[in-house]
Amino acid sequence: MVADALGCTTDDTITVTDDVVVTGVIEGAGGSDTIEVTGNASVNGGVFGAGEGQDVSAAADTGDVITINTTGTVLGVWGGDDGDASDGVTGDVITWTAGIISDGIYGGNGSDQAFVTATDYDGTQVLDGGDDVLVADGMIDTLTLQGVTVSAPGANVLNWENVVIDGGSVKFSDQALTTGSEAGTGLSIINGGTLDASGGGLALTGNMSNSGIVTTQDGIVGDVINVSGNYTGTGAFNIDVELGDSSSPTDMMVVAGDTSGTTTINVVNVGGVGAATGTGPTDGIQIVQVGGVSDPNAFVLGGTVTIGAFVYDLAQADGQNWYLQSTENSLQGQIFGYSALQAAMGDDLDTLWQRVGQRERLLNADGSLSAAGTKVKTELNRTRVEGRLGANLSGDDDNWTFYTEAGVAIAITGKEYTSFKGIAGARWNF
């Protein structure tokens, strides 16, 4: 065990490894220090990039590199106060690769960077960038959540001008996050990362840049993502919608600022049966609301969405907001039974032979003609193929009808039975 590991005003390198336990603290003090906790080492009192150290030189700290990569436990990491408003270019680089950090990471002043890849990060730790989320002081802090899958309250992720979801999946369990709102700052989703805003949505104070996945899909409609700044995207936005008329409930995104890029919207229908929405300027199911300027290609639909006889497409109907608008499918399939036809004639015509006329007859084992059989009959202009499978094709310049029917006749003890008591068919108008 070691009581403390203390640096001084010069640049220090402090490494705690193996099974060493620091019962006190590690302090880098002044200068630009490199501090690493590896192996199975633990630090009971925390790691400080600055601190008074051996010579009370915390004020001379100029930015530290701190790495936590251990199977042990560290109370927390505190970066140095690296300069003032005019010296914001300096800062700490804090990397949490492995090990348990009980309290959290605190950047302090300066332009700090924190990289969190540890599977031990469970969202209970505080990740604090330091001063605020404004760039005017010259201090721009960036937190990168790299490949982690976590549900964390946004209240524990604070004072970062930039928050980056780099791979993995992150959910802000209190449905809120504050980042920078100025150009070049905000929440970014990159490298296939996922922002999971299901279960209520997200209120983001700041900008959003999405080249990964933003999803609200959970089988329940009504999740709303609010972005107070601008949105730009080249990734995907996955939502639940009850596909019906214009009043249908849906997940959606509300952007107070501008939208740009090209984001693919993927829709999952939740209980909708399809309906006409109309195609006017404000008709349709609104899924993106934009307060500023929305580029004409800012959003595209991920694929054809068809429910029943209705096809839904994405339209910037009013030149600003984005709607799912439906039109009736030009190729309509209607599956119907044979009961009406049977009522009209089936009871009077006892066999398929009588209903369809001359056909090819099958032979029984003794060489006699069977009641079973097939029939094919073809006419020019109007084609009718009947028996086991038939087709009618008729039409004019305005309407074509394609009709198929099938019937099966079998012979049992000299009597004929049919599988449907008639015909099953399908009709398409196009």
Q: How would DSSP label each residue in 149-195? A: EEEE-GGGEES-SEEEEESSEEEETTSEEE---STT-EEEEETT-EE
Span 182-204, pLDDT tens digits: 999 999 999 999 999 999 999 99
Q: What mean pLDDT value characterizes the chain?
A: 82
Span 388-397, average pLDDT:
38
Q: Which residue has better confidence, 131 or 402?
A: 131
Separation of alpha carbons 390 and 384, rounded Å: 6
Question: pTM (2 decimals)?
Answer: 0.77
pLDDT band at 362; cut points 50, 70, 90: very low
Q: Which residue has better confidence, 56 or 130?
A: 130
Span 134-159, pLDDT tens digits: 998 889 999 999 999 999 999 999 99
Separation of alpha carbons 221 and 200, rounded Å: 9
One-letter amino acid of 415: K
pLDDT band at 88; cut points 50, 70, 90: very low
What is the pLDDT at residue 346? 46
Instruction: Indicate if the pLDDT at residue 408 is higher than 70.
Output: no
When mean pLDDT is compared across 29-38, 86-95, 118-127, the lowest value belongs to 86-95
Q: What H or E segment, with its residue span, contains residue 341? A: helix 339-341
Helix/strand/coil (H, E, C) string of 68-98? Answer: EEEEEEECCEECCCCCCHHHCCCCCEEEEEE
Separation of alpha carbons 17 and 265, rounded Å: 49
Separation of alpha carbons 231 and 256, rounded Å: 9
Separation of alpha carbons 3 and 44, rounded Å: 10
